[in-house]
Amino acid sequence: MNRRFLAGARSGFRIFLPLSIGLIPWALVTGVALTSAGLSVVEAMGMNLMVYAGVAQIATLPLIVAGAPLWLIGLTALALNLRFLIFSAAIAKGFHDVPLKLRIPSGYLLIDGVFAVCTERMLSVRDRHWRFGYFLGPSLWGWGLWQCFVLTGVLGAGALPQDWSLEFMATIALMVILVPLSKNRAMLVAALVGGVSSVLLRGMPLKLGVIVAIVIGIIAGFVAGRVLPERKEA
């Protein structure tokens, strides 16, 4: 622990704090889903600690409960998590000088919101301590928030309101992160093409359309970055 690490952690936390509330409804929904599937509190929280990925948990749960073959459960989870392979590759350079014993828990903590918020600084800031703090601060906050609210969902499954469209708060959080990213023209192209492709490919099994859409969006952004004259970021 040193001062630069703490300064980085504080900056990352401050940026992520308002966006992190988008995690709360998702965590509650996940907790309710785990309980509704018939898991005990220990089983639900055990899965939650081991997996720490809402989409993969909710999607594999019906398969697990129905006694589906293990290979199908594993493949489903892998398909839903393929995007993390892309995220890991995109942010890896920010960890090149971080020791292995810290890189392993960093992988565990890598979630969508933190990736989207932290990547740019992770790739551009030189100070290793500040940079790692900037990742770890929001990551640990997101982890704690997630565990607390999944537990709340597990314990309060019967008492929570079902029809308040709270899951839309996660969509709002992701949009708020997306807006500043898209001020550069090539980034905007990547976002538009990625979004449209994802809607068009929604019929693909196991949400694979999302992965294909991300790849198409990345390629479109890359091409646009080469072709379009670079305008200074607003």
Which residues inside 9-68 make contact with other proteins, applying CB under 8 A? 17-19, 21-22, 39, 43, 46-47, 50-53, 56-57, 60, 64-67
Using CA atoms, how far apart are residues 126 and 40, in angstroms rounded to an integer? 46
Which of 41, 208, 219, 228 forms a contact with other proteins (CB under 8 A)?
Answer: 219
Q: Tell me: does residue 227 bind other proteins (CB under 8 A).
A: no
| Cα within 13 Å of Cα(30), Cβ side | 28
CA distances in angstroms from 212 to 3, 9, 158, 162, listed in the order given: 42, 33, 38, 32
Tell me the closest approach of the beta carbon of residue 27 to other proteins, in angstroms. 16
Using CA atoms, how far apart are residues 117 and 177, in angstroms rounded to an integer? 7
Tell me the closest approach of the beta carbon of residue 2 to other proteins, in angstroms. 22
Of 33 and 116, which has the nearer Cβ to other proteins? 116
Of 64 and 151, which has the nearer Cβ to other proteins? 64
Tell me the closest approach of the beta carbon of residue 1 to other proteins, in angstroms. 21
Q: Tell me: does residue 90 bind other proteins (CB under 8 A).
A: yes
What count of residues does the chain have?
A: 234
- Counting residues that bind other proteins (by CB under 8 A) gives 95
Residues of this chain, 97-126, that bind other proteins according to CB under 8 A = 100, 103-104, 106-108, 110, 112, 115-116, 119-120, 123
Q: Tell me: does residue 168 bind other proteins (CB under 8 A).
A: yes
Of 65 and 155, which has the nearer Cβ to other proteins? 65
CA distances in angstroms from 159 to 24, 32, 152, 228, listed in the order given: 16, 10, 10, 53
Of 3 and 62, which has the nearer Cβ to other proteins? 62
Contact between residue 118 and residue 91 where contact means Cβ atoms under 8 Å apart = yes
Tell me the closest approach of the beta carbon of residue 204 to other proteins, in angstroms. 11
Using CA atoms, how far apart are residues 41 and 155, in angstroms rounded to an integer? 8
Tell me the closest approach of the beta carbon of residue 100 to other proteins, in angstroms. 7
Q: Tell me: does residue 162 bind other proteins (CB under 8 A).
A: no
Which of 41, 62, 74, 231 forms a contact with other proteins (CB under 8 A)?
Answer: 74
- DSSP per-residue string spanning 27-81: HHHHHHHHHHTT--HHHHHHHHHHH--HHHHHHHHHHHHTT--HHHHHHHHHHHH
| Torsion region of 162: left, alpha or beta (phi above 0 gives left; psi -120 to 50 gives alpha) | alpha
